[in-house]
């Protein structure tokens, strides 16, 4: 090899400097992240309800979020107005790619469960044959500082400082969880079985709080359902509103017509629709995918006031408002 390298010594020396410079642009990590438009996913692929044909008009939206961004990606973003570059948050700097992926899956699990419960509840007001019975069962851990390795992403918190989940309402248990030091009783899934653990933690002053998503056990659902969407790699809670609308409309067999509906926004058990990240990229995705009707949380209206889009935009605060807007749109 050395003989070969000596033979082309001049060429190698001349090329090595631009080569290293380009390599640096392509691989050097920065302290920034890039968000870019993604794609839409039909909700009908995520939820299956026994005896019901899921409507295919409803779509959730995902965007691409890359961190840490490379200098070359920054150059691409500078040339493309549909992409945004921002500083990494303290959580993003701390979390590993694996934990980030697991957190996305936890958020999706919680979001899909809440969507099913809310959709069944709303549909049961119209059709009393639709029934759902559920119970709040704990909090799923979606973030902890990486140094607290005794806690795993996905752990279900069933007691905090000895106070069990059964002694609290969902709201009071979530309030109780906002502590900088606590002893947690945990239920951890290992394959098909569960193990119980007790972990004590103390957060440093500069560390963010632990983050949780509510967990529910569904005791009975008529008609029964399955969630194949849990097996996909796309994660996150932002599909909550659209999942709920899709399940609701499918359960009641609403005549939606030949329109493409998409949207974004988290859903809480209270029915409130929450803010999400990358709203501008989601609007651009809606434009690219030729959506007819687009739902967003009202709190995002000011973020997109300068944008122009060809679809009807519906901004809502609660899922009840979204259901009403859907009925008005299809009537």
Partner 1 sequence: MKQLVNRIDQAFYRFRKLIKLIDHEAEMKNVVKSVFSAFILSLFVLAIPVLVIINMFIISKLTFILAILLVIIVVLWPFLYYAFYYKILKNYHPKIQSINTKLPYLVESSIIAFILLVIGIIVLSIIF
Buried b (16+ CB within 10 A) or exposed e, 164-197: ebeebebeebeebbebeebebbbbbeeeeeeeee
CB of 92 to partner 1, least distance (A): 16
Rg, C-alpha atoms of the chain: 23
| Tokens 């007001």, located at residue | 125
Shortest approach of partner 1 to residue 39 CB, angstroms? 6
At 220, is the secondary structure helix, strand, or coil?
Answer: strand
26 binds partner 1 (CB under 8 A): yes
Q: Is 101 in the site for partner 1 (CB under 8 A)?
A: no
Q: Is 3 in the site for partner 1 (CB under 8 A)?
A: yes
User: Counting contacts by CB under 8 A, is residue 7 touching partner 1?
Assistant: yes
**What is the CA angle 177-273-293, rounded to 5?**
155
Q: Which of 11, 14, 23, 28 touches partner 1 (CB under 8 A)?
A: 23
> How many alpha carbons fall within 13 Å on the CB side of residue 33?
16
Q: Which stretch binds partner 1 (CB under 8 A): 2-10, 45-53, 163-171, 291-299?
A: 2-10
121: which 2 tokens?
A: 């509840």
Q: Alpha-carbon distance 330 to 257, whole Å? A: 7
Q: Contact between 186 and partner 1 (CB under 8 A)?
A: no
Shortest Å distance, C-beta 260 to partner 1:
17
Question: For partner 1, what does the binding mask look like between residues 52 and 91, x meaning CB under 8 A?
Answer: ------------x-x---x-xx--xx--x--x--------
- Which string of x and - marks every residue 252-291 that binds partner 1 (by CB under 8 A)? ---------------------------------x--x---
At 142, is the secondary structure helix, strand, or coil?
strand
d(CA 212, CA 157): 9
Q: Whole-angstrom Cα distance, residue 331 to residue 318?
A: 20
Cα distance between residue 114 and residue 119, in whole Å: 8
Q: Is 94 in the site for partner 1 (CB under 8 A)?
A: no
Task: Please report whether residue 4 would count as binding partner 1 according to CB under 8 A.
Answer: yes
Q: How far is the CB of 38 from partner 1 (least distance, A)?
A: 6
Chain contacts with partner 1 (rule: CB under 8 A): 1, 3-4, 7, 19, 22-23, 26-27, 34, 36-39, 64, 66, 70, 72-73, 76-77, 80, 83, 285, 288
């Amino acid at each position: 090899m050395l003989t070969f390298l000596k033979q082309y010594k001049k060429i190698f020396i001349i090329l090595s400097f631009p080569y290293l410079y380009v390599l640096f642009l392509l691989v050097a990590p920065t302290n920034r992240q890039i968000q870019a438009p993604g794609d839409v996913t039909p909700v009908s692929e995520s939820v299956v309800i026994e005896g019901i044909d899921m409507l295919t008009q409803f779509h959730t939206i995902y965007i691409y979020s890359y961190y840490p961004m490379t200098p070359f990606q920054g150059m691409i973003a500078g040339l493309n107005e549909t992409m945004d570059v921002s500083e990494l948050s303290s959580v993003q700097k701390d979390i590993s790619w694996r934990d980030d992926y697991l957190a996305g899956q936890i958020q999706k699990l919680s979001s899909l469960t809440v969507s099913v419960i809310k959709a069944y509840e709303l549909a049961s007001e119209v059709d009393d044959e639709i029934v759902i019975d559920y119970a709040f069962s704990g909090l799923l851990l979606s973030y902890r500082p990486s140094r607290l390795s005794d806690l795993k992403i996905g752990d279900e918190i069933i007691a905090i400082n000895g106070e069990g989940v059964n002694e609290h309402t969902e709201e009071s248990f979530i309030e109780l969880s906002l502590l900088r030091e606590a002893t947690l009783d945990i239920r951890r899934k290992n394959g098909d079985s569960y193990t119980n653990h007790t972990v004590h933690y103390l957060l440093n002053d500069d560390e963010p709080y632990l983050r949780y998503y509510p967990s529910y056990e569904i005791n009975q659902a008529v008609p029964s359902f399955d969630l194949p969407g849990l097996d996909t790699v796309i994660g996150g809670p932002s599909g909550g509103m659209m999942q709920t609308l899709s399940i609701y409309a499918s359960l009641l067999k609403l005549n939606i017509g030949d329109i493409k509906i998409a949207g974004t926004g988290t859903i809480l058990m209270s029915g409130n629709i929450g803010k999400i990240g990358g709203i501008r990229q989601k609007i651009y995705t809606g434009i690219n995918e030729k959506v007819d009707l687009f739902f967003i949380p009202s709190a995002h209206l000011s973020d997109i006031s300068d944008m122009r889009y060809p679809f009807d935009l519906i901004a809502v605060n609660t899922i009840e408002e979204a259901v009403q807007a859907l009925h008005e749109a299809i009537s």
